[in-house]
Amino acid sequence: MLKMSSKKPETKIKNKSAREISKERLNRITKARKHRVRTTGRVVKYGAKSFVRNTWLSAAAIAIMAITLIVLGATIIATDVMKTTIKEVESQVDISVYIKQSATKEQVERIIGRMVQLETVDEVNYTSPEDANRKTIENLVADTNITDEAMIKELYDAPNALPWTLNVKLTSLDNTSELENFVDNDESTKNMLDAKPPSYANKNRETIDQIARIMNRVQIIGLIAAGVFAVIAILIVFNTIRMAIFSRKEEIYMMKLVGASRWFIIGPFVVEAAFYGIVAALVGAAVVYGAVYAIEAQLGSIVTPTLDLMKHYWYFVLSAFLLGGIVIGIISSLLATRKYLKL
């Protein structure tokens, strides 16, 4: 009995020591976390002070970073506006296929029924010979200011030589091959074609191609310009951080002597550069939004879809600006601290 009772206190002691060890470990983890939080707070505080202290150097870095973000944002917006313009032009362009005047409405509708089944065809409408003749006479009267009732009546009474017109809208004007193949090889359609050939190519196609070429050039030039300004911004922030390091070299030396961590030393410079990026992003976003509003007042509907998108997803646009500015600032500061803190 004595032996059995002697084991219980030992077990309790062992269990108690295990609980104490777990508690001490938890306390150490909690203290370490609190220490990291306090250290991060001090790093942010020192970085903010350095940002305010180097006012003129900060202004130069912010200005060039803002220009970089503005150029990049303007390139993206210009590309989107041109894409919208191309879509609007394409929506107003259709390809005309001409059917003999002698064809019946049922025959024309059967051709349309087969044509709309093509993958590249979005919509097909038709204009009858009578409607085409009436519109032609109305336009002629309006353009020539004819007021003689007898002459107008003679125009309407004259023989109508106009064919049926099928107005075909494609999903993309870049691909007319499927429609051309259908018109050339579908027997029932080929036999009903008028002598007037289909209008696969027109001046609107040339306009669209020209806009597309300009859009590609704007993209290339904009990206190159943004890249050049980004390099300049990195160099300016790099030199700004380098000067800050040299001005605080004795303070940095003392921190190394007392055993300060690497993050505690380089952190304030990274935070300072991140502040450059944040302010530059806010300035750049304000300039871009103001410019788009001003352009809309001048050009109207061309810019409206892009502006509506920017207003609806403003948080995404602002986040993109902030991310771009902060990344440029952090890269510059890390390059500077990596090189000059070793010295």
Query: What is d(CA 73, CA 287) in angstroms, rounded to the nearest whole number?
Result: 10
pLDDT surpasses 70 at 232: yes
How many C-beta atoms surround the C-beta of residue 26 within 10 A?
10
pLDDT surpasses 70 at 321: yes
Q: 71-117, pLDDT tens digit by residue?
A: 888 888 888 887 777 777 766 667 888 888 888 888 888 888 888 88
CA–CA–CA angle 69, 71, 72 (5° rounding): 65
Percent of the chain with pLDDT over 90: 3
How many C-beta atoms surround the C-beta of residue 238 within 10 A?
21
What residues have CB less than 8 Å from 296, skipping those under 6 apart? 303, 304, 307
Instruction: Tell me the average pLDDT across 167-196.
Output: 80
Confidence of residue 337 (pLDDT cuts 50, 70, 90): confident
What residues have CB less than 8 Å from 235, skipping those under 6 apart? 332
* pLDDT of amino acid 139: 78
* pLDDT of amino acid 275: 86
* Sheet (strand 121-127) strand order: 95-99, 164-170, 121-127
CATH code matching the domain that covers 94-201, chosen among 3.90.550, 3.40.1050, 3.40.1000, 3.30.70? 3.30.70
The segment with the largest mean pLDDT, out of 36-40, 105-109, 260-264, is 105-109
- Provide the residue ranges of all domains of the chain, joining segments of one domain with +: 46-88+208-340, 94-201
pLDDT surpasses 80 at 333: yes
pLDDT surpasses 60 at 64: yes
pLDDT surpasses 60 at 196: yes
pLDDT surpasses 50 at 269: yes
Q: State whether the Cα torsion 264-270-273-274 is positive or negative.
A: negative
Query: What is d(CA 117, CA 112) in angstroms, rounded to the nearest whole number?
Result: 9
* pLDDT of amino acid 13: 47
Instruction: Tell me the average pLDDT across 46-68.
Output: 77
304-312 and 314-340 helices cross at what angle (nearest 10)? 70
Confidence of residue 283 (pLDDT cuts 50, 70, 90): very high
